[in-house]
Amino acid sequence: MNPSLLRIATRQSALALWQAEHVAALLQSRYPDLQVALVPMTTRGDEILDQPLATIGGKGLFLKELEVAMLEDRADLAVHSLKDVPATLEPGFSLPAILPRADAADAFVSNDYPDLAALPAGARVGTSSLRRQAQLRALRPDLQLRDLRGNVGTRLGKLDGGHYDAILLACAGLERLGMASRIRSRLAAPDWLPAPGQAAIAIEARSERPAVLQLLAALDDSDTRLTITAERAMNHALGGSCTVPVGAWCILGEHGLHLRGLVGDAASGRLLLAEAQAATDQAEALGQRVAAALLEQGAGDLLEK
User: Which tens digits make up the pLDDT trace of 178-199?
Assistant: 999 999 999 999 999 999 999 9
With a cut of 80, say whether residue 52 has pLDDT above it: no
| Burial classification of residue 89, based on how many CB atoms lie within 10 Å of its CB (0-12 exposed, 13-18 middle, 19 or more buried) | middle
* Distance separating alpha carbons of residues 145 and 166, to the nearest angstrom: 10
Q: What is the pLDDT of residue 60?
A: 56
Q: Give the H or E element holding residue 27.
A: helix 14-30
What's the count of helices (H) and strands (E) in the chain, helices before strands?
11, 13
Contact present, 59 and 83 (Cβ < 8 Å) = yes
Q: What is the pLDDT of residue 63?
A: 87
Beta strand ranges found along 134-245 (DSSP E): 144-146, 166-170, 185-187, 201-206
Which residue from 95, 74, 64 is spatially nearest to 8, judged by alpha carbons? 74
Which residue from 10, 72, 18, 62 is spatially nearest to 41, judged by alpha carbons? 10
Residues forming a β-bridge with 153: none
* Distance separating alpha carbons of residues 126 and 83, to the nearest angstrom: 19
Beta-carbon neighbour count of residue 27 at 10 Å? Answer: 22
Residue 43 — very low, low, confident or very high, per pLDDT cuts 50/70/90? Answer: low
* Distance separating alpha carbons of residues 207 and 196, to the nearest angstrom: 23
pTM for the predicted model, two decimal places: 0.91
* Distance separating alpha carbons of residues 237 and 86, to the nearest angstrom: 12
Residue 149 — very low, low, confident or very high, per pLDDT cuts 50/70/90? Answer: confident
Residue 304 — very low, low, confident or very high, per pLDDT cuts 50/70/90? Answer: confident
How many residues comprise the chain?
Answer: 305
Phi, psi torsion values for 193, nearest 5 degrees: -100, 135
User: Which tens digits make up the pLDDT trace of 90-128?
Assistant: 999 999 999 999 999 999 999 999 999 999 999 999 999
> So which residues are the catalytic ones?
84
Residue 49 — very low, low, confident or very high, per pLDDT cuts 50/70/90? Answer: very low
Phi, psi torsion values for 132, nearest 5 degrees: -65, -40
* Distance separating alpha carbons of residues 76 and 88, to the nearest angstrom: 20
Residue 294 — very low, low, confident or very high, per pLDDT cuts 50/70/90? Answer: very high
